[in-house]
Amino acid sequence: MEEILDREFYVNHLPEGGTGYGAAQNAGDVVAVVTTSPVGASGALMKSLPNLEAVVNFGVGYETTDVDTARQLGIAVSNTPDVLTDCVADLAVGLTIDVTRGISAADRYVRRGQWPEGAHPLGRRVSGLRVGVIGLGRIGRAIARRMEAFGNTVSYHSRRRVEDVPYYWHESVSVLAAESDVLIVAVSGGPSTESLVSRDVLDALGPDGFLINIARGSVVDEDALIHALVERRIAGAALDVFGHEPHVPEALFELDNVVLTPHLGSATVETRQAMADLFLENVRMFMSTGRVRTPVF
């Protein structure tokens, strides 16, 4: 993508960790910022670019971009929705199967040469579970449809009831957790959902419940989760996202009831290509028409 951008447009690269552009870099010439979900665009950056008109984001999440400042300044913000829905939902199902059946743990068991010592501990059946989904947006719905195919019952929590789905809506996350064998986090990140999965929610999930997070690490109180896992107050967790990526709490490394993946949600050749295509379409469309294909507001 960077090669294509460099070939088609005049591009300046902001230094890693930079928050401002600086007069020496001809800030007044910049009309668009391109960025990725982990980095985003701060309000300070936007204010340092007097002629900025668009922030084009590679990724579906945009909580790292100061959307309020963008709205105030009349700056368009775009992301790459829909094209990664299936792959993220697939991963959520895969992680659920892995942690409930103990697949990764069993793999380690075999590799350590322990099989001759006796059978690996029993896992949990994947079909027939009560699955709770936090956040019934595009990805949440895709997860729910897949879970139905296993004969699971699905319920959900979101800020408002979704009218056109057959799943039961719970008004609070704690009640949803209490009614679930598997709790899947599929809600957007940002201040409004920070630590939404709290100690109380984990206690409601209980010692037979599993947590799956393919959303954002900030949604789960990571310290509370570690304590719940160590103390066996929940059965296990499968985590694709973390609070301070790429750094993962070392306490999780020693736990065999945890599956850890390095933010693989959209990490397939097909999906990343589709994301790149949509990202570049947003850039090209903005540069030629002043509009973006997939605005976030």
Full-model pTM: 0.93
- Model confidence at 195, pLDDT cuts 50, 70, 90, reads very high
How do residues 34-77 score in pLDDT, each as one tens digit? 999 889 999 999 999 999 999 999 999 999 999 999 999 999 99
Confidence (pLDDT) at 238: 99
Average pLDDT of the chain is 95
pLDDT average, residue stretch 224-248: 97
Q: What are phi and psi of 183, to 5 degrees?
A: -115, 120
Q: Which two tokens stand for residue 72?
A: 């105030």
210 DSSP β-pair partners: 182, 236
Q: Which amino acid, one-letter code, is at 56?
A: V
Quickly list H helices, 127-245.
Answer: 138-148, 173-178, 199-205, 222-230
- Per-residue pLDDT band for 266 (boundaries 50, 70, 90) equals very high
Residue 13: its pLDDT value, please?
83
Percent of the chain with pLDDT strictly greater than 70: 96
Look at residue 185 and tell me whether its pLDDT is greater than 60: yes
Report the pLDDT averaged over residues 242-246. 96
Among 7-11, 19-23, 153-157, 276-280, the range scoring the smallest mean pLDDT is 19-23
Task: Give residue 23's pLDDT.
Answer: 46
Instruction: Please check the confidence at residue 137 and state whether its pLDDT lies above 70.
Output: yes
Q: Which of the four pLDDT bands, split at 50, 70 and 90, describes residue 183?
A: very high
**Which residues face 259 on adjacent strands?**
238
Confidence at residue 16, expressed as pLDDT on a 0 to 100 scale: 61
Which is more confident, 13 or 93?
A: 93
pLDDT at 143: 98
Question: How far, in Å, CA of 158 to CA of 95, rounded?
Answer: 22
Tell me which of 4-13, 66-75, 86-95, 138-147 is least confident: 4-13
Beta carbons within 8 Å of 118's beta carbon, 6+ residues apart: none
State the average pLDDT over residues 253-269.
Answer: 97
Please give the average per-residue pLDDT across 105-126, as a whole number. 97
Q: Taking residues 141-165, what's their average pLDDT?
A: 97
pLDDT greater than 90 at residue 14: no
Would you name the residues annotated as active-site residues?
Answer: 216, 245, 263
Q: What share of the chain is helix, strand, coil (3-state, %, to 5)?
A: 40, 15, 45
Domains along the chain with CATH numbers:
2-81+268-289 (3.40.50.720), 85-260 (3.40.50.720)
Percentage of the chain exceeding pLDDT 90 = 93
Helix ranges (DSSP H) in the chain: 2-8, 43-47, 67-73, 85-101, 103-111, 138-148, 173-178, 199-205, 222-230, 269-289
* Confidence (pLDDT) at 26: 77
